Structure 1
C-alpha cells in the first residue's frame, strides 16, 4: 500500500495541505485531532525564545472540526522570559481558527541527582501485540500512519488499554518527525484505544487535550496507558500516562462530548 510521505505537505510560509493520513474516524472529510496538535507544537517550538527549552504543558482547545485540506498555522509569545515562557499557536482552516494551543516552556537544567526513578510500562514495545484500528471508513487514514502494539487491554474492544506506537511517516514532508510531534499525534488517540462505548453506537469526540510533561520524549517508540470514564450527563474524560522506552514522561487528559449516533 502506497502511503503519503507525511501528514502535511508544505504550501508556502505557514501554509500546509493535509494528506489522507490525517483522516479521522468520525467523518472522512475531517482530520483526526492528533496531526493538527503536532503541527501546532512544531510551530510553538519554532517560535519560542528559550533556546533548548522544554514544553511542560500543552493545552489544546478544539474550536471546530478541522477539514482535510489546506490549513494555516501561526504562533506568538504571550509571556516572554529567560527561564519560563508562554507561547500561543493557532491553526486556521477556511479562514477561521479551529484549534488553539497555549504552551508553557521552561529552561532545562541538570537535576538528575534529585530525579525520581523512572516508572516503566510493564510490557515494552518489543513484547507488545501487533494491532490495528478497525473503525476507520477509509483504507488510508490516521490509523495507517503509526505502527500499533498493544501493551494492555485491547484497542479494538471497550475498556482501559495501553499501546505503543512508532511513526511510519513524517509530520511535514521533507522533515523527520520529532519525538514530541509523534507524542502529540499519538496522544489524541488515547480516548480511541480506551473507548468505553461501542464506536457504532456512540460518538465521543474530545473538545480539548492537555499534555503535561516532566521530561521530553525520546526514541522511536512511545506509549500511552489510557482509561476513559463516563459521567451521568453525556460527558466523559480520558486520562493517560505517557511513556517512552526509558519510562513515564507525563500525563494527558481530555474532555469528551458523548452522544448516541
Structure 2
C-alpha cells in the first residue's frame, strides 16, 4: 500500500471511491465502520457554509446496512441552526442505491470567545511509547482496516478476551492526497471499541455494532488516539461497548456502541 493511497479517493463533488484499506473483519466486500464514520464527520466539517467558530461535540451514527466497498455519495443538511449550537445530518449512499446505508447527526457547539476554566475528568493512560504492538484479529484477507491502522496495547489485546486499552494511528490518510484532520483521527479509531474490548471469541461469535456515538469535549492533538474500552453482553444477545477516548495530552471524550451478538 503506497503512502499516497488512503481509505478513500475523491472522484467528484461529494463522491468518493472506497479502497481496500476500508475492508472490515466481518465480510470481504464490506467496510469497517471507522473509515465511513470519519468520512461523514469530515463532510459535516467541510459542508458549504460551515461556521468556523463551531466544533463537533457529539456525533451519532446509525449503521443501517453494511457499507460496501465501492463508490459512495455523501450529502449533508442542517437540521437546526442557532447562535450557540447547530445540528447537522450527513448521509452515506452507495452508487446506484436509492437509500443511505449510514446516517450521522452531529451536534456542533460554538467555541467560547473568552477562555473558560478547563477541567478534564479521567486518569491519563500510559503513552503509546510504552505500549506493545499487537496484531488484529486474524482475517482471511491481507489488506483492510487491520493493515491500515497501527495498534499498540497498554492493556489487553485484540486476541485476548476482556477489557482493552489501545493506542491507534492511521497509516494512510482518510482521503488520498489530502491532509488528515484531527476529527478524522478520533472517528476512524472510535468504532474499534467493541474489538479492543472483545469478551467473546471472534471465531465463534459475531458482535457487530449497529450504532456509534462519540462525545468530544476536546478535539485530539497528535497522531495517536487511545480507545480505553469495556464491553458487557447480556444472554439475550445485546451488548454495549463503552470507551474512554484519549490523546497524548489526556482525555478527549467518550465512544459508545450498541452490539448485536450471535453465534456464527
State the TM-score, normalizing by the size of structure 1.
0.95
Does structure 2 retain, via aligned residues, the 8 Å contact 1:4–1:21? Answer: no
Give the whole-Å Cα distance in 1 for the aligned partners of 2:249 and 2:25.
31
Per-residue displacement from partner, 1:127-150 (whole Å, max 9, x unpaired)? 111112033221111011111110
Say what the alpha-carbon RMSD is for the aligned residues: 1.6
Say whether 1:233 aligns with 2:262.
no
3-state DSSP class of the match of 2:83?
coil
Corresponding position of 1:17: 17
Q: What does residue range 165-204 of structure 1 map to in structure 2 within 5 Å? A: 165-204=168-207
1:18-57 to 2 correspondences below 5 Å: 18-47=18-47, 49-57=50-58
Residue 157 of structure 2 aligns to a residue whose secondary structure is: coil
Give 5+ residue unaligned stretches, structure 1. Answer: none
CA contact (8 A) 1:236 1:256 kept: yes
Distance 1:73 1:124, change over 3 A: same
Q: 1:103 aligns with which of 103, 106, 109?
A: 106
Does the 8 Å CA contact 1:49/1:80 hold for their aligned counterparts? no
Report the TM-score when normalising by structure 2: 0.94
Counterpart CA distance in 1 for 2:2 and 2:107 is 38
Instruction: Name the counterpart of 1:85.
Output: 86
**Unaligned runs of at least 5 residues, structure 2:** none
Take 2:79 and 2:148, find their aligned partners in 1: how far apart are those partners?
Answer: 33
Residue 213 in structure 1 maps to residue 211 in structure 2: no
The alignment covers a number of residue pairs equal to 261
User: Does the CA-based 8 Å contact 1:210-1:253 persist in structure 2?
Assistant: yes
- Could you tell me how far apart the structure 1 residues matched to 2:105 and 2:222 are? 25
